Structure 1
Amino acid sequence: MNTLVFQLAQTEIARLTTALQAYQTPNANPYVHFAAKHKNATFLAYTSGKVVIQGKGATDLARELQLSDFGSSATIPAKTETRQDMPIIGTDEVGNGSYFGGIAVVASFVTPDDHAFLKSLGVDDSKRMTDQKIQAIAPLLEKKIPHQALLLTPQKYNQVVGKGLKHNAVSVKVALHNQAIYLLLQKGVQADKIVIDAFTSPTNYQKYVSKETNQVTQAVTLEEKAEGKYLAVAVSSIIARAMFLENLKHLGEDVGFQLPSGASNKSDKVASQLLAAYGMKGLAHTAKLHFANTQKAQALLNK
């Protein structure tokens, strides 16, 4: 049996399902949102953005649908659209590379009607903005833009991430992004596109997200440097950065230390001081223990 596999953008899948509407057939698979039979072939469109065409007539059907570069087995990279003239959900996370502090993940819903407001505030990738500006405009964005924010504290992070635990450093971010998108969609927003600032490959993302209880049925696109392409992602990066900084401040106040961002030698020194003052319990309250900084801090303390 001939099988063709394509990874397509949501707009392309919409075109194909419209073309095959008259040949639609029922399908009980919860991960298949459209199925059809035509020209001695079965067409399956999965919620992940994958399209599979099987049967003796698979090549003929692919040709009729104007799908190029097909053969006995084919995979086409998802088409990247950087247009913003549509309602978009964009997500980003902050804190993943910092030893101290939690991980903040935000999904934001931006429509073309919001663009003028966002540009008037100078919305940009949070990595290119000062913390002072981020903290000034984040409350305005939170009030105006529909969003879903999640914060995984260091204490909770240490309970779920690490050897023998539920998550690794990548899968926990997949879970957070997926949950933020899912909860935002539950609020009733309707996006034409969902974009994640890529932190792993689409294959890895799909592998981990398939294990989540809450499933986002709409196609999700992972794009590198998306915060510079989509205002929705830029908004999320700003709100997430403000959340991370606030969390870092509060954690520092809890233990009476100024906690640095990042994972440099400065973090090692502060961590060793925390160990001396509170032991591992104090470090677990403020830092991600599986980082190599933990061992470095212990070595500094033992000198």
Structure 2
Amino acid sequence: MPKRFDDAEEKKPKAITSYTIKLDDAQMKKLQAACAAKHWETAEVPYARFAFKGPKVNVTAYTSGKVVVAGKETEEFVQNVIEAEVTGAPKLGYDEVLHPDWFEPHAGLDESGKGDLFGPVVAATVIAEGDAVRSWLAAGVRDSKTIVDAQILKLDDLIRATPGVVVEVRHLDMAEYNRTMLQPFASLNRLLAQHHADALDAALQKKWVPRGLLDQFSKEPLVQRVMKKKGLERFDLQMRTKAEEDPVVAAASIVARAEFVRLMHALSREFGDKLQKGAGALAKAQASLLIEKLGARSLGHFAKLHFRTCYEVVAAAGKLAELPLKEPKEKTEWKR
């Protein structure tokens, strides 16, 4: 019996609709010139060096050097412009040749919320291999920092629904988080290491894999130390910066960010307004407003009280008697 047309269509590989690449300054200039030559509409995008909107593809080049291409004609643009005119190196479609380790069974670990004044810190572990990774690459799974919240939630659903994949997340509610972090000698990195180790341990109990990759957040092997206490010495956990280049780590970054977004939505509903992300001037102003509206003691239900910003807004409001925070010592944070 001849194959039905629609059956054959279903077996075709999905076209790639999203692609990310890192370019140097000279390559960025070539890309900008190539897009400008097409007379495409320019767009304003936060943290972007430039952005163009084509008929069926959008191109955004960030100040970090990362370029994101998205749209129905992503493959054509990458092959005919980026690879042909900018880099001169064909890579699209060669992931399994260039990065065979991406497709082997392994765990990816990442976190979200560490630098945000409001909301908890979330750690996520994802275990995947082969077909799952291929489907995620086609769907645009990449570092969560380059994806808007609405798309993050959709990709999180996709990742969790992928057959054979294991997902685990760990976090504390804000009350428990602040009780933990206001203890003497408390360390955010050690707490995060515990979250990562707990999520990884739970994931490995569901599906064992021999190795994993962690997006590095500390010079010290903190997660490995907790794993040793759990009897997981035989698991090989590597860590490096920019580990989200691995699609399974990228998936973990999306899962962690999606969970953080959901938790922030819940806290925002309780507050009565959308809570600001980050820990800059807008978040600080909102913390001051929160104290005026709900009182200083309520701050711990929404914010990380060990942040210097919390001490500053409580002190400025004259409320240290109500919420006796100690002035944090200046710290030199490890930079990725």
TM range (shorter): 0.5 to 0.7
1:178 paired with 2:194, answer no
How far apart are 1:134 and its partner, in Å? 0.8
Q: What is aligned with 2:167?
A: 147
Deviations 1:147-200 (A, max 9, x none): 1111222222101113416x311100110000010000111x121321111101
Distance in 2 separating the partners of 1:248 and 1:171: 23
How far apart are 1:139 and its partner, in Å? 1.1
Q: What is aligned with 2:238?
A: 221
C-alpha contact (below 8 Å) 2:133/2:248 kept by paired residues: no
C-alpha contact (below 8 Å) 2:296/2:314 kept by paired residues: no
User: For residue 96 of structure 1, what is the amino acid of its counterpart?
Assistant: K
User: For residue 87 of structure 1, what is the amino acid of its counterpart?
Assistant: P
Distance in 1 separating the partners of 2:177 and 2:232: 23
Structure ranking higher on relative contact order (CA contacts 8 Å, 6+ apart): 1
C-alpha contact (below 8 Å) 1:123/1:235 kept by paired residues: yes
Pick one of 106, 111, 115 that aligns with 2:133: 115
User: For residue 221 of structure 1, what is the amino acid of its counterpart?
Assistant: Q
C-alpha contact (below 8 Å) 1:178/1:215 kept by paired residues: no
1:1-303 to structure 2, matched below 5 A, reads 83-144=101-162, 145-164=165-184, 167-187=186-206, 189-207=207-225, 214-217=230-233, 218-228=235-245, 230-302=246-318
User: For residue 219 of structure 1, what is the amino acid of its counterpart?
Assistant: D
C-alpha contact (below 8 Å) 1:162/1:168 kept by paired residues: no
> RMSD of aligned C-alpha atoms?
2.1
- Partner SS state of residue 248, structure 1: helix
How far apart are 1:239 and its partner, in Å? 1.0
Distance in 2 separating the partners of 1:125 and 1:286: 26
What's the TM-score, normalizing by structure 1? 0.67
Deviations 1:240-263 (A, max 9, x none): 111101101101111223211110
Unaligned runs of 5+ in 2: 1-98, 320-336
Going from structure 1 to structure 2, the CA distance change for 1:96 and 1:82 (only over 3 Å counts) comes to farther
Distance in 2 separating the partners of 1:113 and 1:202: 34
Q: How many residues align?
A: 218
How far apart are 1:216 and its partner, in Å? 2.4
- Partner SS state of residue 91, structure 1: strand
**Comparing 153-162 with 106-115, which one deviates more in the overlay?**
153-162
User: For residue 227 of structure 1, what is the amino acid of its counterpart?
Assistant: E
Distance in 1 separating the partners of 2:188 and 2:226: 12
Unaligned runs of 5+ in 1: 1-80
How far apart are 1:84 and its partner, in Å? 1.7
- Partner SS state of residue 286, structure 2: helix
In percent, how many aligned pairs have the same letter? 26
Q: What is aligned with 2:21?
A: none
How far apart are 1:224 and its partner, in Å? 1.1
How far apart are 1:208 and its partner, in Å? 5.6
Going from structure 1 to structure 2, the CA distance change for 1:158 and 1:82 (only over 3 Å counts) comes to farther
